[in-house]
């Protein structure tokens, strides 16, 4: 049996993460791969409670440091309860966002010190890293237009374009630094071409 893979999906708001997640799931199912689908922040009862606090209105004014540490608290629980056990059982893990989102949103968006994020990453993740990260990329205006058609914006979606441009730039510079792991997918085009690109990447990693 080949080693189970840990795949993450990333991108700014409105780039089509949800529909492409469904597409990846159907590809893995068609290939008979046993996998766990999960998300961050979230994926465990504690993580989902922290997600509600992080995205909702009740703690709208939380400090940037609290936000960073709550993201990692949710992640610590998620790794121990879901990600590691699945990989140890031979199941693949397909995760909607992971630590690259912390570098992008808390590092880029909130402009927190990267050294702090690296410290927490090393502490909480140990040597666990995603095997493949699909980064759906589109200009912020494109995503805004798509996301704007949905319900009430959450605490992050309420941020301004400057914040999201920093998030996008951070994602892209991480992809440039780690081209083998992070694959950038142009998400500004039609869904069909985005999915063709995704399937060519996934087909290459499945033997
Ligand atoms: P979403 O996954 O439904 O898009 O929403 C999660 C929000 O949380 C999204 O705006 C990105 C944000 N986020 C962070 O700011 N840092 C993180 O580490 C993660 C995982 C998500």
> What is the CA(181)–ligand 1 centre distance, in A?
20
| pLDDT tens by residue, the chain, 207 residues | 579 999 999 999 999 999 999 999 999 999 999 999 999 999 999 999 999 999 999 999 999 999 999 999 999 999 999 999 999 999 999 999 999 999 999 999 999 999 999 999 999 999 999 999 999 999 999 998 888 777 789 999 999 999 999 999 999 999 999 999 999 999 999 999 999 999 999 999 886
Cβ contacts of 32 within 8 Å, gap of 6 or more:
none
> What is the CA(1)–ligand 1 centre distance, in A?
33
**Residue having the nearest C-alpha atom to atom 4 of ligand 1:** 13
Residue 59 beta carbon below 6 angstroms from any ligand 1 atom: no
User: Length of the chain, please?
Assistant: 207
pLDDT (0 to 100) of residue 202: 95
Nearest-angstrom CA–CA distance, 55 and 155: 5
Nearest-angstrom CA–CA distance, 102 and 72: 9
> Please, what is the end-to-end C-alpha distance for the chain in angstroms?
10
The number of the ligand 1 atom at minimal distance from the alpha carbon of 98 is 20
Residue 10 beta carbon below 6 angstroms from any ligand 1 atom: no
| Domains, the chain | 6-206 (3.40.50.300)
3-class SS at 200? Answer: helix
Residue 105 beta carbon below 6 angstroms from any ligand 1 atom: yes
Nearest-angstrom CA–CA distance, 161 and 132: 28
> What is the CA(17)–ligand 1 centre distance, in A?
12
């Amino acid at each position: 049996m080949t080693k189970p893979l840990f795949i993450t999906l990333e991108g700014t708001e409105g780039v089509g993460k949800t529909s492409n997640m469904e597409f990846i799931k159907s590809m893995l199912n068609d290939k008979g791969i046993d996998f766990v689908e999960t998300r961050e922040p979230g994926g465990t009862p504690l993580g989902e409670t922290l997600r509600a606090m992080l995205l909702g209105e009740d703690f709208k004014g939380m400090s940037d440091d609290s936000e960073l540490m709550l993201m990692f608290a949710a992640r610590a629980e998620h790794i121990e309860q879901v990600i590691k056990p699945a990989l140890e059982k031979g199941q693949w893990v397909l995760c909607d966002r992971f630590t690259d989102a912390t570098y992008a949103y808390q590092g880029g968006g909130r402009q927190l010190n990267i050294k702090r994020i690296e410290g927490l990453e090393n502490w909480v993740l140990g040597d666990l890293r995603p095997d493949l990260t699909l980064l759906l990329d589109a200009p912020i205006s494109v995503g805004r237009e798509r996301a704007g058609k949905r319900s009430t914006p959450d605490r992050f979606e309420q941020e301004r374009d400057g914040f999201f441009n920093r998030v996008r730039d951070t994602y892209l510079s991480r992809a440039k630094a780690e081209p083998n792991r992070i694959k950038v997918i142009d998400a500004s085009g039609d869904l069909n071409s985005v999915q063709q690109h995704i399937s060519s990447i996934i087909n290459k990693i499945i033997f």
